[in-house]
Chains A and B, each alone.
Chain A
């Protein structure tokens, strides 16, 4: 019997030993494979635009330039790649290379490898999203957030001949549309896509807060300003009033991101404040009406273009081979064909020196790029609230809280002042 016990125990320990021995290679996501190549794990996310075939082709192109690397693709279970990266990190399995994960928190904790100035020489805004002066995420593309996409047919039927240049004109147009039985704004935020309700507020914060104080969030981190300050409350009040006047339909808050876009396509509202990535979707899968685009207007009509630049690839500080991982990440983000693919699939505006988009891009994308280029020429580029990365970013988790707070603003559960107080409370919790 004793022999049986000893044998059994030995068998269990042997099995456990085998398991442990296999773990680092299998779960660490990086191991040397045959032929001297290094296998690196790469975390991506899939959307209807950025599907599996898109990622496979893009990975193949980068790997062709860095042949000493083989890539093991990991896919997030949903679009929230930052939350999933945190879960992987908590389990000790942070992938070697990550796509479009928010570096906030990871970088400060020393989990990411910074890129050198030399490595960033081909980027238009090499210091975008810097944390403590170091760049951890390749600033490979710019997005304008929001652009107001509109239904030209509905505008024409309501007798609206010009897009608004001042906020008052936007309100006048909204009234005209509503009086004609049309919901002026399509705003979503249902299901797991709570973030989709943020874009009107992102617009008003840029026009009312960031234009006066471009580094407002940095100042918030230093305690110099608060959400309850008059400028921010005024920005929130604009959203409160849009909802009160029924220019935004609260019922839209049950719509997921995909359903929200579909609602605009179905003509359930005239204006759709959304990120510039909608442009290629509108071009590739054209609605039954013409889509136009204009920037979120300011009170006095002067231009403000809220943008986010960054969003590229990051490298784990504990990658199997950090230098090779960075080389591969740069090859991935700088590759012309990859950027063309990003432009066509996701409406990205690549921030790579000398890059020009494909000549056959559609009218909505071209109108969107024109808004961005005008902003660049006029020097009216500002951050897009809740989208920021780097030192001027919201603390982890606060963007999600802000999106939930916007739902309260739209449903009338909170007024602008209460919303601002809520954000100050949540800011304190997130940074304690």
Chain B
């Protein structure tokens, strides 16, 4: 066989015995399994098992401080259908998610277009805009709390400008949720900037130049050349922001603790933790977590499919 191949006769190469190919493939799979095993074990242990346990707990009245634990079927799910606090938390989560998705995307795109220049200053500015992304959410929250409290920097500045009664950014129940959303959008802005910058750098300059020669205005060039080419970046940003919005917890815990008042800034993730670790109702909080998981998964899949279809059609 070896001699045949050396002679270079192509017709004699075809009858390679299939079992030998299988033999080569299996060791490959074995190695793959070997290297994948630790990751799979970790994934199963830290993701799949907790999800399974949560699903199971959601069907019980588990309260470690009020035994015994009993199987209650779907009672927890029926209860949350009429739970006004859950409805409020869901609404707050949707408001926060919608605001950060729009603000961070629009702001991120505008800043990315401004920074899409290869000079040192602009490269430095990219780092500046990205800094909030790498900072801890707790640190961000403490900084913004200092800015937005009644005696904070913003209101002090407003008072200095002659505003007698500046808004209670964090103490006004009608305003606090928007302050939280603003803070989260600000933190995620840098992420969107970087993703859009990567997208912009993948847009061939010839296309834009050709459109300009054909008489397209700057707006038309953006609409018909740049924006369609940014579709993958939009997909990444939207999905990431949706997930960030739906799991909002840290900022709420540090800045408002769900207040001012009952439920004004409570999100689903916050309600899950409070119900489990403050009220000790782990069975019910598991049902809340299961519903939250289902909502996030459903919205993520739908949005992802829609945006990916848009990428293809463009």
Which residues of A come within 8 Å of B, CB atoms? 1-2, 4-5, 8-9, 12, 16, 83, 86-87, 89-90, 104-106, 108-109, 189-194, 249-256, 259, 263, 268, 396-397, 400-401, 404-405, 407-408, 411, 413-414, 422, 429-430
**Is A4 touching B34 in the complex (CB atoms < 8 A)?**
yes
A408 adjacent to B261 (CB under 8 Å): yes
Given A5-B30, A255-B149, A259-B149, A407 and B261 touching (CB < 8 A)?
Answer: yes
Given the complex of chains A and B, what is the CA–CA distance between A5 and B28 in angstroms?
12
CA gap between A192 and B307 in the complex, in Å:
38
| CA of A397 to CA of B33, assembled, Å | 47
Is A397 a contact of B274 with CB atoms below 8 Å? yes
**B37 lies within 8 A of A8 (CB):** yes
Residues of B within 8 A of A8 (CB): 34, 37
Task: Tell me, rounded to whole Å, the shortest Cβ–Cβ distance linking A69 to chain B.
Answer: 27
Closest B residue to A263 by beta carbon equals: B151
The 7 closest A-B pairs by CB, nearest first: A105-B65, A397-B279, A251-B150, A254-B170, A254-B171, A408-B261, A253-B171
A-B contact count (CB 8 A): 136
In the complex, A152 Cα to B263 Cα: how many Å?
38
A251: B residues at CB distance < 8 A: 150, 168, 171
Which B residues, 3 to 44, have Cβ-Cβ distances below 8 Å to chain A? 26-27, 30-31, 33-34, 37-38, 41
Inter-chain contact A191/B254, CB cutoff 8 Å: yes
Contacts of B168 on A, CB cut-off 8 Å?
A: 250-251, 253-254
Chain A neighbourhood of B38, CB < 8 A: 12
* A residues near B263, Cβ cutoff 8 Å: 404
Partner of B64, one of A90, A192, A254: A90
Once A4-B30, A254-B169, A254-B170 are accepted as A-B contacts, the answer to whether A86 and B280 lie under 8 Å apart by CB is yes
Total B residues in contact with A, Cβ cutoff 8 Å? 44
Q: Is the CB of A408 within 8 A of B262?
A: yes
Q: Indicate if the CB atoms of A108 and B65 lie closer than 8 Å.
A: yes
Assess the A430–B279 pair: CB atoms within 8 A: yes
Closest-CB distance, B144 to chain A (whole angstroms): 11
Which of A4, A190, A396: most chain B CB closer than 10 A?
A190
Which residue of B has the minimal Cβ distance to A251? B150
- For the complex, what is the distance from the CA of A414 to the CA of B263, rounded to whole Å? 13
Q: B48-59: contact bitstring with A at CB < 8 Å (1 yes, 0 no)?
A: 000000000000
Contact (Cβ within 8 A) B148 A254: yes
Closest Cβ neighbor of A259 among chain B residues: B149
Listed in ascending order, the chain B residues whose CB lies under 8 Å from chain A are 26-27, 30-31, 33-34, 37-38, 41, 64-67, 145, 148-152, 168-173, 253-263, 274, 276-282
Question: Are the CB atoms of A396 and B65 closer together than 8 Å?
Answer: yes
A sample of 19 more A-B contacts (CB under 8 A), given A190-B149, A190-B171, is: A1-B26, A90-B64, A109-B64, A109-B66, A109-B67, A192-B253, A193-B257, A249-B150, A251-B171, A253-B260, A254-B170, A255-B150, A259-B151, A396-B280, A397-B280, A404-B259, A407-B259, A408-B173, A413-B173
- Listed residue (B66, B151, B171) with the most chain A CB atoms within 10 angstroms of its CB: B171
CA distance A189 to B258 in the complex (A): 11
Do A254 and B149 touch across chains, with their CB atoms under 8 A apart?
A: yes
| Complex A-B: 9 CB contacts under 8 Å | A190-B145, A190-B256, A192-B257, A194-B257, A194-B258, A254-B150, A396-B278, A408-B261, A414-B262
- Distance in angstroms from A60 CB to nearest chain B CB is 31
Contacts of B65 in A (CB 8 A): 104-106, 108-109, 396
Rounded to whole angstroms, the CA-CA distance of A429 and B259 in the bound complex is 19
Contacting residues, chain B, for A252 (C-beta < 8 A): 150, 171
Given known A-B contacts A12-B37, A105-B65, A109-B64, A191 and B255 have beta carbons under 8 A apart: yes
Given contacts A1-B27, A1-B30, A105-B66, contact A413 B261 (CB under 8 A): yes
Give which listed residue, A2, A108, A422, contacts B262 with CB less than 8 A: A422
Contacts of B171 in A (CB 8 A): 190, 250-254, 411
B295 to chain A, nearest CB (A): 22
B279:A429 contact, CB within 8 angstroms: yes
Residue in B27, B149, B255 whose Cβ sees the most chain A Cβ within 10 Å: B149
Contacts of A256 in B (CB 8 A): 145, 149
- Contact across chains for A192 and B254 when beta carbons are under 8 A apart: yes
Smallest CB gap from A84: residue in B: B277
Residues of B within 8 A of A87 (CB): 277
A2 to B152, CA, bound (A): 66
**Cα distance A108–B170 when bound, in Å?**
38
B281 — which chain A residues lie within 8 A by C-beta? 429
Chain B residues within an 8 Å CB radius of A254: 145, 148-150, 152, 168-171, 260
Bound complex: CA A212 to CA B78 (Å): 41
In the bound assembly, the distance between CA atoms of A279 and B259 in angstroms comes to: 28
Question: Which of B37, B259, B278 lies at the interface centre, i.e. has the most chain A CB atoms within 10 A of its CB?
Answer: B259
Q: Contact between A190 and B170 (Cβ–Cβ < 8 Å)?
A: yes
Provide the bound-state CA to CA distance between A353 and B257, in Å: 40
Of the candidates A104, A108, A253, A400, the one having the most CB atoms from chain B within 10 angstroms of its own CB is: A253
Which chain B residues lie closer than 8 Å to A109 at the CB level? Answer: 64-67
For A411, the chain B residues whose CB sits under 8 A away are: 171-173, 260-261
A370 CB, nearest partner CB in chain B, Å:
32
Contact between chains at A255 and B151 (CB < 8 Å): yes
Expressed in whole angstroms, the Cα–Cα distance for A255 and B260 within the complex equals 11
In the complex, what residues of A have CB within 8 A of residue B31's CB? 1, 4
Nearest residue, chain A, Cβ from B253 = A192
Q: Across the interface, name the chain A residue whose C-beta is closest to B141.
A: A191
Q: Which residues from chain A contact B41 at a C-beta distance below 8 Å?
A: 12, 16
Check A191/B27 contact, CB under 8 A, given A5-B34, A251-B171: no
Give CA–CA (A405, B172) in the complex, Å. Answer: 14
**Which residues from B are CB-within-8-Å of A16?**
41
Question: Inside 8 A of A5's CB, which chain B residues have their CB?
Answer: 30, 33-34
CB distance from B259 to the nearest CB of A (A): 5
Rounded to whole angstroms, the CA-CA distance of A268 and B149 in the bound complex is 14
